[in-house]
Amino acid sequence: MQFIPLILLSLLSLTSALPTGISPSSLLPENLSLIPRACATTCGSNCYTSAQISSALSAGCNYVTQGSTAGSSTYPHVYNNYEGFGFSVSGPYYEFPILRSGVYSGGSPGADRIIFNKSCKIAGEITHTGASGNNFVGCTGTS
């Protein structure tokens, strides 16, 4: 893993000498999965950064504050915590989809959710991935 920063540093030093029409990104290794990502949480196989979580929280909280929902969906809506997660903030809780790309605005919500309270304090992240029926299991860091 130590060779990757050296490769990237070498590539960056070459970018100033690149001919017109060649982008620096075309020089990067095709398999960037070797470079570790900063996952704030992982839901199933989905890695979410703190920025993605923050964006979902901000959007969900704005909808709750305005008393509205994303598009013609029902999100955010009250989350009853039937699974009994030990959240560190008090309810009532709301659930809102987390997406791998962008912020949820309606349509299919996917499997992953952020849970927050009316004060817009994050309670945790949960997913349908790996759960039976319509239940949820905790993403990393939520139990």
Q: Is 83 a catalytic residue?
A: no
Residues 31-45 have pLDDT tens digits of 444 455 589 999 999
Q: pLDDT band at residue 20, thresholds of 50, 70 and 90?
A: low
CB of 118 within 8 A of CB of 84?
no
Average pLDDT over all residues of the chain? 84
From the candidates 30, 77, 83, 125, give the one annotated as an active-site residue: 77
From the candidates 30, 83, 95, 125, give the one annotated as an active-site residue: 95
pTM, to two decimals = 0.74
From the candidates 30, 83, 125, 128, give the one annotated as an active-site residue: 128
Can you give the pLDDT at residue 143? Answer: 84
Q: Is 128 a catalytic residue?
A: yes
Indicate whether 55 pLDDT > 70.
Answer: yes
Contacts of 1 (CB under 8 A, 6+ apart): 34, 36
Indicate whether 117 pLDDT > 80.
Answer: yes
Q: Is 30 a catalytic residue?
A: no
- Token pair of 135 as six digits: 């239940």
Indicate whether 23 pLDDT > 80.
Answer: no
Residues 91-110 have pLDDT tens digits of 999 999 999 999 999 999 99
